[in-house]
Chain A
Amino acid sequence: MKRRPRVPLLPVVLAMVWLLFNDSLSAGHILLGVVFALLVSATVRRLRPLPAWPRRLHVAVGLIWHVFVDIVRSNIGVGRVILGTTRRQPSIGFLRIPLDLRDPHGLAMLAIIITGTPGTVWAGHDAASNVLTLHILDLKDEETWIRTIKNSYERPLMEIFE
């Protein structure tokens, strides 16, 4: 299989942040932004020796869309639990999911996605056994949760970072 080119994540994001901050796409700002991004990346390398080199960015587009849809849906879900037509407390619970994803950047992204979605919070990860502990607000159907996390989030993240 042909290996796709990898993108250095940190400098690219920093350059984009610079351009957004200055709200300008002029040649001067692009040059300044690139210089700034490279300088910061070089400095940070000492602090964090493991750079992120994601691949297959088209997968990320699908992932972002999926996460967006899930955030909207779980906002409605959590809202319904809170306003609950019947005054019952939700069935909270922990869920343990064995992961295949090993890349630290992928795991960080997974943590942000899971915690950023209302109704689920990342509650721990055992590095030795690679088992993720999740806390879920309305734990009814464990199979569906496991399938969602593994198929919609973990697989694309593995494609991007590994």
Chain B
Amino acid sequence: MTAADVPLWAALPAALLLVCGGLLTVVGSLGLLRLDSFYARIHAPTMGGTLGAGCVLLASMLVSTALAQRPVVHELLITLFILITAPVTTMLLMRAAILRSQE
């Protein structure tokens, strides 16, 4: 199973999705540099965590489906776990910041 085995119909969209996901994550991380307050910065990394990760997972599904020649949807689990864990950290940070600013 090498890269050459991936058929074109899967490789092209997968590559495109990987580039999109990477770009979204880079822009999200760039936000940490460009935005000036904590409350603004907290919004930036969510980009990489949602659509950025989503693009990469979709690309992974495409390639593994093409290689295994049957639908492979493991990646849905990663989506589920990201979805239920990432917001918890963000909310904790947010609540901590609010409590600190009230002191």
Contacts and interface: CB of A to CB of B under 8 A. Distances in A.
A118 interface: yes
Contact of B30 (A75, A82, A116, A122): A82
Contact of A115 (B31, B91, B98): B91
Interface size class of B (residues with CB under 8 A): 20 to 34
A79 B27 contact: yes
B51 interface: yes
A121 interface: yes
A71 B52 CA distance: 11
A89 interface: yes
B50 A20 contact: no
Contacts of B31: 78, 81-82
A121 B90 contact: yes
A117 interface: yes
A3 B76 CA distance: 31
Nearest to B31: A82
A152 B23 CA distance: 29
B59 interface: no
Contacts of A82: 27-28, 30-31, 34-35, 44
Contact of A135 (B30, B39, B80, B84): B39
A78 B36 contact: no
Interface of B: 24, 27-28, 30-31, 34-37, 39-40, 42-44, 46-47, 49-51, 72-74, 76-77, 80, 83-84, 86-87, 90-91, 94-95, 98
29 contacts: A20-B73, A20-B74, A21-B77, A75-B47, A75-B50, A78-B43, A78-B44, A78-B46, A78-B47, A79-B24, A79-B27, A79-B28, A82-B27, A82-B28, A82-B44, A83-B27, A89-B36, A89-B40, A90-B40, A111-B91, A112-B84, A112-B87, A115-B91, A116-B46, A116-B86, A117-B46, A118-B28, A118-B44, A124-B95
